[in-house]
Amino acid sequence: MKYLPLFFDISGRHCLIVGGGAIALRKAKLIAKAGGQINVVAPDILPELTQLAEKSLGSCQFRAYQSADLADQNIVVAATNISDINAAIADDCHARQLPVNVVDNAALCSFVLPSVIDRDPITIAVSSGGASPVLTRMLRSRIESLIPSAYGRLATFVGHMRKTVKSTFPTEGERRRFWESVLEGPAAEKVLSGDEPAARELFEEQLRSRQKKLPGEVCLIGAGPGDPDLLTFKALRLLQAADVVLYDRLVSPKIVDMARQEAEKIYVGKAMANHALPQDQINQLLIKYAKEGKRVARLKGGDPFIFGRGGEEIEGLAEQRIPFQVVPGVTAASGCAAYSGIPLTHRDYAQSVRFVTGHLKEGALDLDWKTLVAPEQTVVFYMGLSNLQVICKNLIEHGRDPSTPIALVQKGTTPDHKVFVGDIGSFCENVDLETIAAPTLIIVGEVVQLHGQLNWFSPTT
């Protein structure tokens, strides 16, 4: 993030615009909406811009820019059509540590003027940091269509009730959860439809019914294989409502960042022979925070019920009668295979698929190898990189043809996504396994042949 988004109160403050054309006018209109006093300097100034400056109690100087024009100004916009003059204005402002925006030159800006969605008192700003103003205007139009103007009225209604709610609920978490129930309920609908007296009655009724201590809850959320765009709508909604987030090693940092800034984030990841917390301690943490009345998001890579120990974690919650819900995620097998152009089933190659763990249990890879070598079947091994040689050897010894295709997917669906393809008879000799980084997924079966034809994902780093 190059720019820190800020909402700056410029009401009554001196705002200098150097330039008198259409671009300067557009910037001035935005400043005027925020109540700034507009001062314009340019040899030629559009009549509409002159009127805007006078209405804001500002001034117009019909001449070239001088560095003395910066005196007593709070912000500056350089909007001339001469790049050397704009650069000189920027240099003068930087020397005075005065915020400056230079049109069409992001490198010289210390602040940018975004595209704005105005639902007073709600203000939404969209910016590309000067990289693509057209794109930001398009995004603004899309956001505007999703947020009716009545949302400003709703924000005002909520603002009038904040003191009452704060005196009723002692903790920030309780207040936030109450407000969520209001804003998703009938009181908010009444405000949006213009019936504020009815909204107030519904609000007060809801306040009386919610004064008892609110129970905690645990949401077991599948975060998918890595690409944040694969997160479900429900997963995102519950993640952003959480007070505490417990997340695994395989959860993308971008997904963790989607949680509220105020949420407590606790890493509980596991790698081979390196567990941040033992499983029983993770289970106890979930119970502890829920009993404190908090909403807990338990983020697990892939799907929580496929090699994710999700069942173990909610058993303890069920025993303690703690409310919980489970949000499925895109499991690594389907996500990594899809991003690699490998259909796990295909009527010409495989009519079934098996998901198995490739992880050692008590020193041995204890699998039903006879069933894993069945014809017209795809087998997906989770966590099998360190045991790849053992996997290939056992498949061949139990009857699988050494020429059977195999794919190893590294960090699937992420910018580091890579696919290594070969056959089980020679793969370990032809691929330098030391250079491959976990997490990985191993796919064995004839469907791997389709990778070359159907591969579509081209990650960029």
Q: Which of 263, 297, 330 is the last residue of a domain?
A: 330
Shared domain for 392 and 287, answered yes or no, is no
pLDDT, mean of residues 245-252: 94
Q: What are 78-106's pLDDT values in tens digits?
A: 999 999 999 999 999 999 999 999 998 98
pLDDT at 429: 92
Q: Which residue has the higher pLDDT, 403 or 186?
A: 403
Q: What are 297-320's pLDDT values in tens digits?
A: 999 999 999 998 899 999 999 999
Integer Cα distance of 456 and 341 in angstroms: 6
pLDDT band at 360 (very low <50, low <70, confident <90, very high): low
Q: Is 270 a catalytic residue?
A: yes
pLDDT exceeds cutoff 80 at 347? yes
Q: Which of 166, 185, 209 is the last residue of a domain?
A: 209
> Does residue 440 have a known ligand-binding role?
no
Mean pLDDT for the chain overall: 92
Instruction: Give the HSE-up count for residue 352: Cα atoms under 13 Å, Cβ half-sphere.
Output: 9
Instruction: Assess if residue 134 is contained within a domain.
Output: no
Q: Is 248 a catalytic residue?
A: yes
Q: What are 56-86's pLDDT values in tens digits?
A: 999 999 999 999 999 999 999 999 999 999 9
Q: What are 9-30's pLDDT values in tens digits?
A: 999 999 999 999 999 999 999 9
In sequence order, what are the residues at sequence separation of 6 or more whose Cβ sits closer than 8 angstroms to the Cβ of residue 21? 42, 44, 46, 79, 81
Q: Which of 209, 237, 253 is the last residue of a domain?
A: 209
pLDDT at 272: 59
pLDDT at 186: 86
Integer Cα distance of 444 and 358 in angstroms: 12
Shared domain for 371 and 394, answered yes or no, is yes
What is the domain count for the chain? Answer: 4
> Does residue 78 have a known ligand-binding role?
no
pLDDT at 144: 86
pLDDT at 131: 83
Shared domain for 448 and 337, answered yes or no, is yes
> Does residue 303 have a known ligand-binding role?
yes
Shared domain for 270 and 339, answered yes or no, is no
pLDDT exceeds cutoff 60 at 363? no
pLDDT at 133: 83
Instruction: Give the HSE-up count for residue 424: Cα atoms under 13 Å, Cβ half-sphere.
Output: 27
> Does residue 22 have a known ligand-binding role?
yes
Q: Which residue has the higher pLDDT, 337 or 174?
A: 337
Residue corresponding to tokens 């020679």:
426
Instruction: Assess if residue 224 is contained within a domain.
Output: yes
pLDDT band at 460 (very low <50, low <70, confident <90, very high): low
Which of the listed ranges 124-133, 172-181, 405-414 does the model predict with the highest average pLDDT? 405-414
Contacts 24+ apart (CB under 8 A), 234-241: 234/327, 235/327, 235/329, 238/295, 238/297, 238/325, 238/327, 239/297, 239/299, 241/177, 241/180, 241/295
Shared domain for 420 and 450, answered yes or no, is yes
> Does residue 363 have a known ligand-binding role?
no
> Does residue 302 have a known ligand-binding role?
yes
Selecting among 69, 92, 248, 294, the annotated active-site residue is 248
pLDDT at 177: 85
Phi, psi of 11 (to 5 degrees): -60, 120
Domain range for residue 37? Answer: 14-113
Selecting among 265, 270, 393, 418, the annotated active-site residue is 270
Shared domain for 315 and 338, answered yes or no, is no
> Does residue 215 have a known ligand-binding role?
no
Q: What are 388-401's pLDDT values in tens digits?
A: 999 999 999 999 99
Q: Which residue has the higher pLDDT, 148 or 422?
A: 422
pLDDT, mean of residues 263-278: 79
Integer Cα distance of 117 and 312 in angstroms: 46
The answer, yes or no, to whether the previous bond of 114 is cis (omega within 30 of 0) is no
> Does residue 306 have a known ligand-binding role?
yes
Looking at residue 34, which CATH number applies to its domain?
Answer: 3.40.50.720
CB 121 within 8 A of CB 113: no
CA angle 2, 459, 228 (to 5 degrees): 65
Looking at residue 271, which CATH number applies to its domain?
Answer: 3.40.1010.10
Shared domain for 274 and 321, answered yes or no, is yes
> Does residue 161 have a known ligand-binding role?
no
Shared domain for 250 and 184, answered yes or no, is no
Shared domain for 76 and 158, answered yes or no, is no
pLDDT band at 132 (very low <50, low <70, confident <90, very high): confident
pLDDT at 137: 87
Shared domain for 342 and 241, answered yes or no, is no
pLDDT at 315: 93
